[in-house]
Amino acid sequence: MSLVQERRETRMISVGNVTIGSNSPVAVQSMTNTRTEDVAATVAQIQRLTKAGCEIVRVAVPDMEAAQAVAAIRREIAIPLIADIHFDYRLAIAAMEAGADALRINPGNIGERRKIMEVANCARSKGVSIRVGVNAGSLEKDIVDRLGATPQAMAESALKNIEILEDLDFHDIKVSLKASDVQRTVEAYRLIASKTDVPLHVGVTEAGGLIAGITKSAIGIGMLLSEGIGDTIRVSLTRDPVEEVRTAWEILRALDIRHRGPELISCPTCGRCRIDLFTVAEQVEQALLDCPLTIKVAIMGCVVNGPGEAKEADIGIAGGDGVGILFKKGKVIRKIDQDSLVDVLLKEIENLQN
Map the footprint of a copy of itself across residues 83-142, applying CB under 8 A: 84, 86, 135-138
| Among 18-26, 122-130, 194-202, 261-269, the segment contacting a copy of itself (CB under 8 A) | 261-269
Rounded Cα distance between 138 and 147, Å, is 13
> Which residues are within 8 A (CB) of 206 and not within 5 positions of it... i.e. 6 or more apart?
137, 180, 236
Using the minimum distance from each CB to a copy of itself, give the nearer residue, 93 or 302.
Answer: 302
Rounded Cα distance between 296 and 259, Å, is 11
Residue 22 neighbours by CB distance under 10 Å: 18
Pairing of strands 129-135, 102-104: parallel
Please state the closest distance from residue 250 (CB atom) to a copy of itself, in A. Answer: 4
User: How many residues belong to the site for a copy of itself (CB under 8 A)?
Assistant: 85
Contact 33, 8 (CB under 8 A): no
Using the minimum distance from each CB to a copy of itself, give the nearer residue, 13 or 39.
Answer: 39
Among 285, 287, 293, 346, binds a copy of itself (CB under 8 A): 285
Among 57, 95, 182, 341, binds a copy of itself (CB under 8 A): 182
> Would you mind telling me the total number of residues written for the chain in this entry?
354
| Among 8-16, 92-100, 205-213, 345-353, the segment contacting a copy of itself (CB under 8 A) | 205-213
Using the minimum distance from each CB to a copy of itself, give the nearer residue, 97 or 206.
Answer: 206
Using the minimum distance from each CB to a copy of itself, give the nearer residue, 198 or 224.
Answer: 224
Asked if 342 touches a copy of itself (CB under 8 A), the answer is no
Which of the 8 DSSP states describes residue 33?
Answer: -
Q: Nearest CA to 234 among 223, 247, 253?
A: 247
| Among 15-23, 90-98, 167-175, 219-227, the segment contacting a copy of itself (CB under 8 A) | 219-227
Indicate the Cα dihedral angle 263, 268, 272, 275, nearest 10°.
Answer: 60
- Contacts (CB under 8 A) with a copy of itself, residues 18-77: 31-37, 59-62, 66
Please state the closest distance from residue 263 (CB atom) to a copy of itself, in A. Answer: 7
Contact 261, 249 (CB under 8 A): yes
Rounded Cα distance between 187 and 195, Å, is 13
Among 39, 93, 143, 281, binds a copy of itself (CB under 8 A): 281
Which stretch of DSSP H or E encloses residue 318?
Answer: strand 315-318
Q: Nearest CA to 83 among 108, 58, 50, 54?
A: 58
Q: Reduce the DSSP state of residue 61 to 3 states and report it.
A: coil
Rounded Cα distance between 199 and 172, Å, is 9
- Contacts (CB under 8 A) with a copy of itself, residues 226-255: 226, 236-241, 243-244, 246-247, 250-251, 254-255
- Contacts (CB under 8 A) with a copy of itself, residues 293-312: 298-300, 305, 308-312
Among 10, 22, 176, 205, binds a copy of itself (CB under 8 A): 205
Among 216, 319, 325, 326, binds a copy of itself (CB under 8 A): 216
